[in-house]
Structure 1
Amino acid sequence: MKGLMDSDMRNLGRLADFVRGTLPFDVFPVLGEMRDTVPKEFDFLREARLMRVISGRLRHAQLPGVIVPEPLLALSSPQLLVMQRMQGVPFSRILEAAVLSPALRERAQRAVLNMLRAFGCTMLQQGLFPADPHAGNLLLQEDGTLVLLDFGQCKALTAARQRALARLVIALDKGRPSGVVAAMKGMGMEFKGLDGRAADPILVTIVANIIFDVRPMPEALVCPLAAEATIKKIPLAHFPRDLFQVSRSIMTLRGLTHALGMHVRAAHLWRGYAEAALADPGLDARAEQNRCYDDGGCVALA
């Protein structure tokens, strides 16, 4: 398995080198993040540990309508994960349906809204979140409860990154371009106009909403390679690698909200978690604990 992963990473490296200069941003930081995170997906004891941690935190935060299967550690190993069997319909099957009944659509929308709240809480306030929330990893139960599956791609954030993301979420909710530009710079993302001058703050705000929110906007549906793509007008010199899982997860959630015809602003839902993170004196200690859980140095309690 390791040989296949190494081969895949080498091929991705060649592809990244081939498209360098074509994309409006450098893909090599993303490749570096993938090299670090993909091997972790095959450590199933790590996944069981993170499932237990995140499940306990969701219960403690009293977030309704979202649950995690209980991993059975006594039956699991680094090569095998055994967990509680959960009933429910995969979201992928719901989205593939030609026609959704109004009742099912409403139930699915409520579940995704709960998922957005859970994601905001785990990412911004807790700093450890499941980073692969695609439709195939979600089950919808009869009572509307959402089951989260697959914790192989969990991401632990540093305290500095949590605070920077929190400031961006607040700026996006306020809707002030100057604040969004400052927050993006604070995360290490600085854009330039095609003339070499500072990028238009309005365009920066559009790109920030595309990458870090799920709000409906026509620009989010345009391929970044297309000539009319907003990011083509303000190239991004550097994309911090530790933001890849964040932005990928949010854009995956955008796909769910778009498919269900939802009109929701994640920044508005998440602002409370962002403010709580900035005010939390224990944020640094929790971030260090998250890193310990991610690396295997800490054991998740029952």
Structure 2
Amino acid sequence: MAVKVQRPDLHRIIGKDFAALSYLVALGEGLFPRLRAFDLPVIVREFANSLERETDFRHEAHSMVLIRAALADVPDFWIPDVIAEASTGKVLTMEYSAGERVDLYGKNHPEAMPKAINTLVKLMLHSIFEEGLFHADSHPGNVFVLPDGRLSLLDFGMTGELDEAMRESLTRLLEAVVNGDARATTEAYLEMAPANEQVNRAALVVDVKAVLYEIHRHSLADASIGNAFEALLRAGSENGVHNPGEFFLLTRAFIILESMIRQLSPGHDYMKSFQEEIARRKAQHFSLGRIQDKTTRLAREMERLFSDAPSDTRRILRRFAEGNLGRVQSPGMEALGDRVSNNLERLASSVAFGSLVVGGSLLLFAQMGGWHHRLGEAMVISGILGMVIRSLGAWLRNRRRP
């Protein structure tokens, strides 16, 4: 077994250091207002939170257990298990990883590095997109090669978490960066950042175009997702975007991973491995199971809207009639409630049919072929027919109305 013991008085030392750092940041922003565009307090706060999590071994143990369970079926990979009964907030006991640092192993076994790199890329993207929990400090000292050739990942003190909505936006962001689409990159980036009315979107698109130009003017094999994210964070800060802390950790994770890959195998085409995983993620995003799940959720929301909207509308109008205007019987008000309810029902059905057209169009534009194409055609046709039928019904009702 391996035991990790925390140094004494570590929390007090870290607290003093961050108090001094926060004071210097505030002083710098006061003297140089342009520094406020870089969100330095956010960076310091995220760094402090990250260090606080890293020095609480209970958090590290919890992250190890979660990631170990999530990646249990991944071949050529192993994470040591936590020995919970011998662990506390300042002592972490785990299984011993009888391996060799990946950089030292690579010097003697360079032929094994391409496979190791592909495994690292797959692990990184799988943990981000599938689990939303990723290792943010995968430098060579935390990656070992076991005697049987498997990789072992250690030190889970610094981890990041992404919810499902942010993972969806990140998928679109990465695809847009690889494709060099500045507008799509900007929109996906702004989905990940908190809403802010001060954002200069036009200037941000221009800066994003410059970032993507720098990436794509060289061979894509030499591109760096980490550097692209770092430039994107800087462009966003300069144009009023308040970057989320998770994005800083994600950028750090990619920069460290890419640095290690170039150290292990300088000639390896990292972006090829990366694009393969993005393509797999895209195919999974448009899988039948995923579409069925989203369709079921949409149907439930629509059903709730259909069932609740008319009664809610009547209730609000009735309270308005009885409250502000006194206890008055108002047939006109009830008739208005009926008309508003009917309009809401038509609006909801129009949204549902429009969603079918948009979803089907996405499948067709994805050009994935096979059943994806047939399903896309069926969704588009169903949505258009639904809208036509709804329009005819409304036209007939209007003709019968005196």
Tell me if both proteins adopt one fold, taking TM over 0.5 as the criterion.
Answer: yes
Query: 1:75 aligns to what?
Result: 86
Partner of 1:251 in structure 2? Answer: 255
Stretch of structure 1 that moved more, 167-176 or 71-80 = 167-176
User: Is the aligned partner of 1:172 residue 2:172?
Assistant: no
User: Shift in Å at residue 75 of structure 1?
Assistant: 1.4
Q: Are 1:169 and 1:267, in contact at CA under 8 Å, matched by a contact in 2?
A: no
Which of 149, 155, 158 pairs up with 2:154?
Answer: 149
| Further displaced range: 239-248 or 9-18 | 9-18
Report percent identity of matched pairs. Answer: 20
The 8 Å contact of residues 119 and 129 in structure 1, kept in 2 or not, is answered as: yes
Residue among 182, 202, 209 paired with 2:209: 202
Deviations for 1:117-137, whole angstroms, at most 9, x for unmatched residues? 111011112111122111111
Instruction: Choose the corresponding residue for 1:10, options 6, 15, 19.
Output: 19
Residue matched to 1:292: none
Q: Show the 5 A alignment for 1:228-247.
A: 235=238, 237-238=240-241, 239-247=243-251
Deviates more, 1:264-273 or 1:72-81: 264-273
State the SS of the aligned residue for 1:199. Answer: helix
Aligned to 1:89: 100
Q: Secondary structure at the match of 1:170?
A: helix
- Report the secondary structure of 1:52's partner residue: helix
The amino acid across from 2:280 in the alignment is G
From the CA coordinates, give the structure whose radius of gyration is larger. 2
When structure 1 is superposed on structure 2, of 38-47 and 168-177 the one drifting more is 168-177
Query: More displaced, 172-181 or 256-265?
Result: 172-181
What is the distance in 2 between the residues matched to 1:275 and 1:145? Answer: 28
How far apart are 1:182 and its partner, in Å?
A: 2.2
**Structure-2 change in CA distance of 1:81 and 1:220 (3 Å):** closer
The alpha-carbon deviation at position 69 of structure 1 amounts to: 0.6
Q: CA RMSD in A?
A: 3.6
Alpha-carbon shift at residue 92 of structure 1 (Å): 4.8
Cα offsets for 1:43-93 (capped at 9, x unmatched): 22222222122111112xx32222101111121122211111111111354
Partner of 2:270: 264
Match among 112, 120, 124 for residue 117 of structure 2: 112
Q: Does 1:53 align with 2:66?
A: yes
Gaps of 5+ in 2: 1-9, 295-402
SS of the aligned residue for 1:81 comes to strand
Mapped partners of 1:230, 1:49: distance in 2: 32
Partner of 1:163: helix, strand, or coil?
Answer: helix
The structural deviation recorded for 1:176 is 2.9
CA distance in structure 1 between the aligned counterparts of 2:24 and 2:69, rounded to whole angstroms = 40
Report the Cα distance in structure 2 between the residues aligned to 1:159 and 1:192, rounded to whole angstroms: 27
Counterpart position of 2:53: 40
CA change 1:123–1:277 in 2 (3 A) is: farther
What is the count of residue pairs matched by the alignment? 264
d(CA) in 2 for partners of 1:33, 1:208: 27
Q: Which has the higher contact order (CA 8 A, sep 6+)?
A: 1
Q: Counterparts of 1:244 and 1:232 in 2: how far apart (Å)?
A: 11
Q: Residue 226 of structure 2 contacts residue 258 of structure 2 at CA under 8 Å; is this kept in 1?
A: no
2:134 corresponds to = 129
Return closer, same or farther for 1:142/1:237 CA change in 2, 3 Å cut-off.
Answer: farther
Relative to its length, the structure with more helix (as a share) is 2
Distance 1:107 1:19, change over 3 A: farther
Write the distance in 1 (CA, Å) between the matches of 2:84 and 2:244. Answer: 35
TM-score (norm: length of structure 2):
0.56
> 2:378 maps to which residue?
none
Q: Mean Cα displacement is larger for which, 171-180 or 79-88?
A: 171-180
Aligned in 2, Cα 1:77/1:207: closer, same or farther, shift over 3 Å? Answer: farther
Whole-Å separation in 2 of the counterparts to 1:37 and 1:55: 20
Bigger shift: residues 256-265 or 77-86: 256-265
Counterpart residue number, 1:291: none
Output the CA distance in 2 between the equivalents of 1:174 and 1:56: 34
Moved more, 17-26 or 134-143: 17-26
* Alpha-carbon offset, residue 161 of structure 1: 1.5
